[in-house]
Amino acid sequence: MKWLVLFGGNLLGFLIVKYNVQIVRTFGRISWAERKLGPAGTYTFYKLLGILLSVGSFLFFTGQLQNIVGSIAGLFFTK
């Protein structure tokens, strides 16, 4: 199962980064990304999304994502 998430997440992340221009042409610009990230913010957003998806799938594969989420959740939900 983890191998499938690793392969699928990296493939999807790579495709988002590679084809971000076509994605923007298909779905249009994201107004808040343009405001917050500056000119061409939508393209930057999609590239960051693809990179985060690839990194997140690798962290899930190695088991570190659970540790990170557990540490952050522990700050808000203490016993």
| Average pLDDT for runs of 10 along the chain of length 79 | 95 98 96 94 97 96 91 82
Pair 41, 31: CB distance under 8 Å: no
Cα 58 → chain centroid: 11
- The per-residue pLDDT for 79 is 64
- SS3 label, residue 23: helix
- The per-residue pLDDT for 70 is 87
The residue behind tokens 């522990």 is 74
Give the global pTM: 0.85
- Report the amino acid identity of residue 35: R
